Structure 1
Amino acid sequence: MEACVFDLDGVLVDSEPVWEEVRRAFVAEHGGTWQPDTQSRLMGMSTAEWAAYLHELGVRMAPDEIARGVVDQMAARYRDEVPLLPGAVEAVRRLSGHVTLGLASSSPRRLIDVVLDAAGLKECFAATVSTEEVARGKPAPDGYLEAARRMDVDPRGCVAVEDSSNGLRSAYAAGMRVIAVPHPRYPPAPDALALAWRVLPGLDALTSDLLS
């Protein structure tokens, strides 16, 4: 393996509950209607994509205003506390000495930087990509392909670490081997999980020996 590319939300940061709480409240406050499948549909979307989707749910604001409002609230929550998942910092530091690391996240650049700075992990990554910076969000492979390009490695020589259905599909479509670390509250769909090369119970099991 030439490189390992991490997702952020649901892999390093237990942010999906925070995203759901913030966006659900925002939709209700601004006249929209949250649907039973809304959270699963939102996971992996780029900022522009999920803002447009919330607008379709009936939020009476332009998508760019929706995006600013939600991201402002997320940044405020992160300033209080970044909900790092157990073993996240240790896993990144453990692998950083053995393999080139990248990050391909659906979070906006502003939140990626807040998280990595707070966790002291920014220097561990050779490249970080927000889906704001590519044409399409997950499940399209654009973010993972861009991470590989920035690291100057072949995507087929990369392992991706993912949790969500759209994330697993995205990394697989990029030609990477995919390690799934499913989130217990937001498990991936069976067909997406079937794309995984390995399924791990947690980040403690992610070692350099596994990648080699």
Structure 2
Amino acid sequence: MDAVIFDLDGVLVDSERMWDEVRRSVVAGHGGRWTGEATRAMQGMSTPEWARYLVERLGVSLSPEGTAEVVIEEMARRYVSGPPVLPGAGETVRAVAARFPVAIASSSPPVLITAFLEATGLTGVVREAVSSEQVAAGKPAPDVYLEAAGRLGVAAESCAAVEDTTNGLRAALAAGMTVFAVPNPHFPPEEEVLAKVAVVLGNITELPDSL
């Protein structure tokens, strides 16, 4: 193993429910209608992808660009007092970084990734941070993981990836990485996808010993 690549939302930050709350609020406030499959469908999507989904599938009356702006502004406002970092997440990244190069491959926009890195003091520890806004397709496509591995200068097959949701796990598996799952308790991944990963962890703090 040559490197470790972390997802952000749900792995290092307890933000999956926050994203869900904000998107639901925007849909309700702008003429749309939430559907039962919307939450899982958007997990892992890039900003342009989920913004189009909110407009084209859920009926938000704004443009995709306007929708993205409203959602991200509200997420950034909630992050002002500090992102909801999961217990032990910062310490875990530091412990792993002492042994391997580490990167973040996230569906969050760069502004929220930066907020996490600054709040945890990990800016100089995490060598590369890639948002799916910066690649062709969001998760479950492997693009963001492949880009992160490329920036680290290592082969994707030599990387470990740490993920929590179905689409994230699919993305890391499609990239050919050794996948460590930390199942999201609020949005559990599909069992058939979970069965394909190398290791299932009960908590992010178990990762250093598992590696």
TM-score, reference length from structure 2? 0.98
Q: Output aligned runs, 1:7-156, within 5 Å.
A: 7-56=7-56, 57-156=58-157
Aligned 8 A contact 1:169 1:195 in 2 = no
Deviation at 1:80, TM superposition (A): 2.4
Q: 1:179: which partner in 2? A: 180
Deviation at 1:124, TM superposition (A): 1.1
Q: What is the distance in 2 between the residues matched to 1:179 and 1:164?
A: 11
Deviations 1:167-205 (A, max 9, x none): 000001001000000111110011221121000000121
Deviations 1:137-180 (A, max 9, x none): 00000000000000000100000000010000000100100000
Q: 1:159: which partner in 2? A: 160
Q: What is the distance in 2 between the residues matched to 1:18 and 1:167?
A: 17
Q: What is the distance in 2 between the residues matched to 1:128 and 1:119?
A: 14
Amino acid at match of 1:192: V
Deviation at 1:81, TM superposition (A): 3.0
Q: 1:5: which partner in 2? A: 5
Aligned 8 A contact 1:5 1:104 in 2 = yes
Deviation at 1:116, TM superposition (A): 1.0
Q: What is the distance in 2 between the residues matched to 1:21 and 1:210?
A: 33
Aligned 8 A contact 1:106 1:132 in 2 = yes
Q: Which runs of 5+ in 1 are unaligned?
A: none
Q: 1:206: which partner in 2? A: 207
- Count of residues in Structure 1 that have an aligned counterpart in Structure 2: 210
- The runs of at least 4 consecutive aligned structure 1 residues that moved more than 3 Å come to none
Aligned 8 A contact 1:48 1:132 in 2 = yes
Q: What is the distance in 2 between the residues matched to 1:79 and 1:51?
A: 22
After alignment, is 60-69 or 119-128 more displaced?
119-128
Residue identity over aligned pairs, in percent, reads 52
Q: Which runs of 5+ in 2 are unaligned?
A: none
**RMSD (Å), alpha carbons:** 0.8
Deviation at 1:87, TM superposition (A): 1.3
Deviations 1:48-105 (A, max 9, x none): 0000000021100110000011000000000023111111011001111111101100
- SS where residue 86 of structure 1 aligns? coil
Q: What is the distance in 2 between the residues matched to 1:15 and 1:31?
A: 25
Q: What is the distance in 2 between the residues matched to 1:122 and 1:190?
A: 34
Q: What is the distance in 2 between the residues matched to 1:28 and 1:112?
A: 27
Q: What is the distance in 2 between the residues matched to 1:176 and 1:70?
A: 31
